[in-house]
Structure 1
Amino acid sequence: MSETIKDPFEGLTKGNSAGNAEPFRIFSEWFVEAEKAESNDPNAMSVATVDENGLPNVRMVLLKEVDERGFVFYTNYESAKGREVLSSGKAALCFHWKSLRRCVRVRGPVVQVADEEADAYYASRARGSRIGAWASKQSRPLESRFALEKEVARYTAKFGFGEIPRPAHWSGFRVQPVEIEFWQDRPFRLHDRLVFKRDALDAAWTIQRLYP
């Protein structure tokens, strides 16, 4: 007899709609499990953007906050990802928790976090990371490793033992989802997929199962 596997989305598609909090509740539950199961960076996620030529770009970053307002990450606004997000105002995210055989995909418009939020998170970072935000001209050509180390030394000397202010070009983005898809591995590639969609940020979600 084949093993019976519990349906992780049982009952969710009844009525084909959900309140604003429902997908965030599922994400929160999955994320708690990922924090227990993943040995490194359970908050790692890929961020996909599009450049000025319409060519997709993707890279890994770390999720720093999530609630019903969206998914937050921080970066240098003058980096490739920063410029592309600011230009298009849109992004897509993907979480892959290999140990749990789960994946979550997110798409939606992007807004900048408030200065107060960025200041609070920046202040929580290690001192070396705060120096790095000043020293690194992210995504731009670097002539040598020594050149980077020289910039680190310059800003270390500049700030000494005092406070290190947040650079104006370094802040956070909040991806406000209009689509969140949950994927759960199943035998024989007959996976479970459930997608939440909404037409506006204040609208209720619709729920749809997808073929694997």
Structure 2
Amino acid sequence: MRIVLVGPPGAGKGTQASFLAENLSIPHISTGDLFRANINQGTPLGRQAQEYMRAGQLVPDEVTIGMAQSRMAEPDAADGFLLDGFPRNIAQAEALDAYLVEGGRQLDAVLDLEVPEDEVVKRIAGRRICRNDSSHVFHVAYTPPEREGVCDVCGGELFQRDDDREETVRKRLAVYHSETEPIIDHYKRQGLVTTISALGEVSEVTRRAMRALSGD
């Protein structure tokens, strides 16, 4: 299957993408992984991306599209893939359409993970990270530490990253609504979109997505 996963920040796309890709035995292709791999390997596209990032500029669509197309052309993606974070806007969606048509392929489904905006803010703004080890992550509502502001694992100070502050989250949501959300209508016109509630336990959201993909 060839699947695109869409949803606002905080919807759990990365987590769901990993589970779904494993269940379907297809590669999980995320924009973040593409950038890291190309930069680490020093590919021409990776070097271009790094130049823009160092200058504090957005990486142009053509660079992101080139990375995605190169990854989709690899042997393990011949029979399917799950795209997470790509396409991010209409230009990228149209490029993906053209790439697939050129190869005689097509998307099978677009899963839209739906989360109320206030829940997104709650999920992200409630995160607290350990200053000693960023892999120690807590949440003030869902997984609070035993002692407020103190890491259960190592005793380090817990803090809120600037990216997790409510005002930053709401700005990210505004960008999502203006740039990424329009691709949902783009794919609805192709009859590909199924909207899935991303509320509840991770395993239940995965089951909803798998049922949608199976046509149930």
Do both share a fold (TM > 0.5)? Answer: no
Higher strand fraction (1 or 2): 1
| Greater C-alpha Rg | 1
- Larger helix share, 1 or 2: 2
Q: Which has the higher contact order (CA 8 A, sep 6+)?
A: 2
| TM-score, with length taken from structure 1 | 0.22
